[in-house]
Amino acid sequence: MNALNSLMDGFGTALTPINLLWAAIGVLLGTAIGVLPGIGPAMAVALLLPVTYGLDPTGAFIMFAGIYYGAMFGGSTTSILLNTPGESAAVVAAIEGNPMAKSGRGAQALAAAAIGHFAGGMVGTILLVALAPKIADLAVDIGAPDYFAIMVLAFIAVTSVLGSSRIRGLASLLIGLTIGLVGLDQMTGQQRLTGGSLQLADGVDVVIVAVGLFAIGEALWVAAHLRRGGAEAIPVGRPWLGKADVKRSWKSWLRGPVIGFPFGAIPAGGAEIPTFLSYVTEKRLSKHKDEFGKGAIEGVAGPESAASASAAGTLVSMLTLGLPTTAVAAVMLAAFQQYGIQPGPLLFDREPELVWGLIASLFVGMVLLLCLNLPLAPLWAKLLRIPRPYLYAGILFFAGVGAYAVAGEAIDLVILLVIGLLGFGMRRYGLPVLPAVIGVILGPAAEQQLRRALQISDGSVTGLVDTPFSVTVYVIILLLLAWPLLKKLVLRKGRKAAQDREDAAV
Amino acid sequence: MTATIEPPKPEAPKSWLREYSELGVSVLLLALGVLVLTDALTMEVDIEQRGPIGPKTVPIVVGIGLLVIAVLLAIDVLRGGRGEAEGGEDIDLSEPADMRTVLLLSGVFLGFAVLIGPLGFPIAGALLFWGAAFALGSRRLDRDPLIAAVLSVVTYAVFNNLLGVPLPGGPLIGAL
Helix, strand or coil for residue B91?
strand
User: Cβ contact (<8 Å) for B167 and A404?
Assistant: yes
Give the A:B interface size as CB pairs under 8 Å.
234
User: Cβ contact (<8 Å) for B52 and A397?
Assistant: no
Q: Which of A116-120, A464-468, A491-495, B168-172 has the highest mean pLDDT?
A: A116-120
The distance from CA A15 to its chain's CA centroid, rounded to whole angstroms, is 25
Q: How many CB atoms lie within 10 A of CB A3?
A: 18
**Residues paired with A191 in a beta bridge:** A184
Q: Which of B46, B92, B113 shows the shortest C-beta gap to A413?
A: B113
Please tell me the predicted confidence (pLDDT) of residue A99.
85
User: Cβ contact (<8 Å) for B86 and A221?
Assistant: yes
pLDDT exceeds 70 at position B176: no
B126 and B165 inside one domain: yes
State which residue of chain B sits closest to A430, comparing Cα positions.
B83
pLDDT exceeds 80 at position B163: no
Please tell me the predicted confidence (pLDDT) of residue A371.
86
Residue A142 Rama label (left phi>0; alpha psi -120 to 50; beta): beta
Under the banding of pLDDT at 50, 70 and 90, the label for residue A230 is low
Whether B5 maps to a domain, the answer reads no
Minimal CA–CA distance to B86: which of A90, A224, A328? Answer: A224
- pLDDT per residue as tens digits for the range A308-355: 888 888 888 888 888 888 888 888 888 888 888 888 878 888 888 888
Question: Do A1 and A44 meet the contact criterion of CB atoms below 8 Å apart?
Answer: no
Please tell me the predicted confidence (pLDDT) of residue B8.
46
User: Cβ contact (<8 Å) for B58 and A389?
Assistant: no
Q: CA of B165 to nearest chain A CA: how many angstroms apart?
A: 6
Residue of A43, A78, A429, A447 best to disrupt the B interface, most CBs of B under 10 A: A429
- pLDDT per residue as tens digits for the range B85-110: 777 767 777 777 788 889 999 999 99
User: Cβ contact (<8 Å) for B85 and A408?
Assistant: no
- A68 vs A162, more confident: A68
Chain B residues with CB under 8 Å of A425 CB are 25
What's the whole-number average pLDDT of chain B?
Answer: 81
- A160 vs B129, more confident: B129
Minimal CA–CA distance to A122: which of A264, A19, A253? Answer: A253
State which residue of chain B sits closest to A421, comparing Cα positions.
B106
Q: Which of A186-190, A300-304, A484-488 has the highest mean pLDDT?
A: A300-304
User: Cβ contact (<8 Å) for A410 and B114?
Assistant: yes
Enumerate the H helices of A429-506 as residue ranges.
434-456, 468-505
State which residue of chain B sits closest to A75, comparing Cα positions.
B89
B40 and B70 inside one domain: yes
- pLDDT per residue as tens digits for the range A346-386: 888 888 888 888 888 888 889 988 888 777 777 777 777 78
Mean pLDDT of A22-46: 84
B residues 115..154 contacting A (CB < 8 A):
116-117, 121, 125, 128-130, 132-138, 147, 151-152
- pLDDT per residue as tens digits for the range A390-403: 888 988 998 898 88
Q: How far apart are CA A440 and CA A425, in angstroms?
A: 18
Question: Do A91 and A246 meet the contact criterion of CB atoms below 8 Å apart?
Answer: no
Whether B127 maps to a domain, the answer reads yes
pLDDT exceeds 50 at position B7: no
Whether B88 maps to a domain, the answer reads no
Whether B71 maps to a domain, the answer reads yes
Minimal CA–CA distance to A450: which of A64, A151, A83, A90? Answer: A151
User: Cβ contact (<8 Å) for A410 and B22?
Assistant: no
User: Cβ contact (<8 Å) for A458 and B52?
Assistant: yes
Minimal CA–CA distance to B155: which of B132, B133, B130, B123? Answer: B123
B28 and B71 inside one domain: yes
Please tell me the predicted confidence (pLDDT) of residue A347.
84
Count of all residues that appear for chain A in the document: 506
Residue of A174, A177, A222 best to disrupt the B interface, most CBs of B under 10 A: A174
Give the number of domains in chain B: 2
Q: CA of A115 to nearest chain B CA: how many angstroms apart?
A: 24
- pLDDT per residue as tens digits for the range A78-132: 788 877 666 666 778 888 888 888 888 888 888 888 888 899 999 999 998 888 8
B73 and B105 inside one domain: no
CB burial readout A164-192, b (16+ within 10 A) else e: ebbbbbbbbbbbbbbbbbbbbbebbebbb
Q: What angle do CA A251, A252, A255 make, to 5 degrees?
A: 85
B residues 31..70 contacting A (CB < 8 A):
32, 35-36, 39-40, 43, 45-46, 49-55, 58-59, 62, 65-66, 69-70
B104 and B157 inside one domain: yes
Whether B95 and chain A come into contact, CB under 8 Å, resolves to yes
Taking each helix axis from N to C end, the angle separating A166-181 and A434-456, rounded to the nearest 10 degrees, works out to 60
User: Cβ contact (<8 Å) for B53 and A454?
Assistant: yes
Domain that holds residue B47: 13-78
Under the banding of pLDDT at 50, 70 and 90, the label for residue B6 is very low
User: Cβ contact (<8 Å) for B83 and A219?
Assistant: no
pLDDT exceeds 80 at position A488: no
User: Cβ contact (<8 Å) for B83 and A398?
Assistant: no
Question: Do A306 and A278 meet the contact criterion of CB atoms below 8 Å apart?
Answer: yes
Mean pLDDT of B7-14: 51
- pLDDT per residue as tens digits for the range B46-91: 655 555 677 888 888 999 999 999 999 998 888 877 777 777 767 7
The distance from CA A163 to its chain's CA centroid, rounded to whole angstroms, is 15
Q: Which of B49, B66, B113 shows the shortest C-beta gap to A174?
A: B66
Amino acid identity at A77: T
Please tell me the predicted confidence (pLDDT) of residue B150.
92
Lowest-confidence segment of A249-258, A288-297, B126-135 by average pLDDT: A288-297
Q: How many CB atoms lie within 10 A of CB A276?
A: 16
Whether B163 and chain A come into contact, CB under 8 Å, resolves to yes
DSSP letter, residue B9 = P
Whether B19 and chain A come into contact, CB under 8 Å, resolves to no
Q: CA of B14 to nearest chain A CA: how many angstroms apart?
A: 18
User: Cβ contact (<8 Å) for B135 and A223?
Assistant: yes
Under the banding of pLDDT at 50, 70 and 90, the label for residue B10 is very low
Predicted ipTM > 0.95: no
User: Cβ contact (<8 Å) for A388 and B135?
Assistant: no
User: Cβ contact (<8 Å) for A226 and B58?
Assistant: no
Please tell me the predicted confidence (pLDDT) of residue A278.
86
Under the banding of pLDDT at 50, 70 and 90, the label for residue A175 is very high
Q: Which of A84, A400, A459 shows the shortest C-beta gap to B89?
A: A84
pLDDT exceeds 60 at position A277: yes
Q: What are phi and psi of A7, to 5 degrees?
A: -65, -40
Please tell me the predicted confidence (pLDDT) of residue B70.
92
Whether B61 maps to a domain, the answer reads yes
User: Cβ contact (<8 Å) for A225 and B125?
Assistant: no
pLDDT exceeds 80 at position A40: no
User: Cβ contact (<8 Å) for A397 and B136?
Assistant: no
Under the banding of pLDDT at 50, 70 and 90, the label for residue B9 is very low
Chain A residues with CB under 8 Å of B78 CB are none
Whether B4 maps to a domain, the answer reads no
- Which distant-in-sequence residues (6+ apart) come within 8 Å of A422 by Cβ? A175, A212, A213, A217
What's the whole-number average pLDDT of chain A?
Answer: 83
Query: How is chain A split into domains, by residue range?
Result: 2-141+236-426
B45 and B106 inside one domain: no
Please tell me the predicted confidence (pLDDT) of residue B3.
43
